Structure 1
Amino acid sequence: MPITIFYLFLSQMMLFGIIRVYENQLYLYRLTENHYKAQTLLAYTDYWLKNKNEASTPESRIVPAVLSFEEGVVHCMEDATGKVTATVTLQNDYSETVVLEFLSP
């Protein structure tokens, strides 16, 4: 009888350990997927801003307040030094921020 109880206890601990490993792997997968989507939107925003402002002067630079995509929204804000802070917010409320800098020709 005690051996059976001990065996059931060990089996239960092993099962909960395996379930915990799969939960952690799923969490890391979702985090990596969200990071990839956010970095893709930020890279496209950087490309879009540099492409639109390729021949413009710092005074005539075009910086949209919001860029909307199917996966989320990118908010852009330009400061006095000419750096653009882009913050992406995905549909599941995951958020990342990057500071973009334009090089003057």
Structure 2
Amino acid sequence: MPITIFYLFLSQLMLFGIIRVYENQLYLYRLTENHYKAQTLLAYTDYWLRDRNKAATPENQIVPAVLSFEEGTVRCSVDAGGKVTATVTLQNNYSETQVTEIFTQERPD
């Protein structure tokens, strides 16, 4: 009888351990998926900003307040130094921020 109880305890412990591993793997998968979606939107926003501001000067640069996509929105803000802070928020409230400098000091004028 004690061996049976011990065996059931070990098998239950192993089962809960396996379930916990799968839960953690699923969590990491979702986190990685959200990260890649956010990085894709931030990369597109960086491309969009650079493409729209090719011929612009720092005084007349085009920076939208919000870019909306199917997966989420990107909010942009410009600081006094000309750096653009883009914050992406996905549909499931996952959020990431990236700071981009559109105009570098080496710009030939």
The answer to whether the superposition gives a TM-score over 0.5 is yes
Task: Give RMSD over aligned pairs.
Answer: 0.6
After TM superposition, list the pairs within 5 Å mapping 1:45-64 onto structure 2.
45-64=45-64
Give the corresponding residue for 1:92. 92
Q: Which 4+ residue blocks in structure 1 deviate beyond 6 angstroms?
A: none
What code does the residue aligned with 2:69 have?
Answer: F
Q: Does the residue aligned with 1:48 lie in a helix, a strand or coil?
A: helix
Partner of 2:2: 2
Percent identity (aligned): 82
Q: Any residues of structure 2 matched to 1:31-70 within 5 Å, and which?
A: 31-70=31-70
* SS of match in other structure, 1:47: helix
Distance in 1 between the 2:8 and 2:20 partners? 18
Structure 1 residue 24: deviation in Å?
Answer: 0.2
Match of 2:79 in 1: 79
What one-letter code is carried by the residue in structure 2 that aligns with 1:71? E
Q: Which runs of 5+ in 1 are unaligned?
A: none
Cα displacement (A) at 1:64? 0.2
TM (norm. structure 1) is 0.98
* Cα displacement (A) at 1:66: 0.1
Write the distance in 2 (CA, Å) between the matches of 1:13 and 1:47.
51
Secondary structure of the residue aligned to 1:62 is coil
CA distance in 2, matches of 1:41, 1:29: 19
Give the whole-Å Cα distance in 2 for the aligned partners of 1:54 and 1:13: 61
1:9 offset after TM fit, Å? 0.1
Q: Which residue identity is paired with 2:86?
A: A
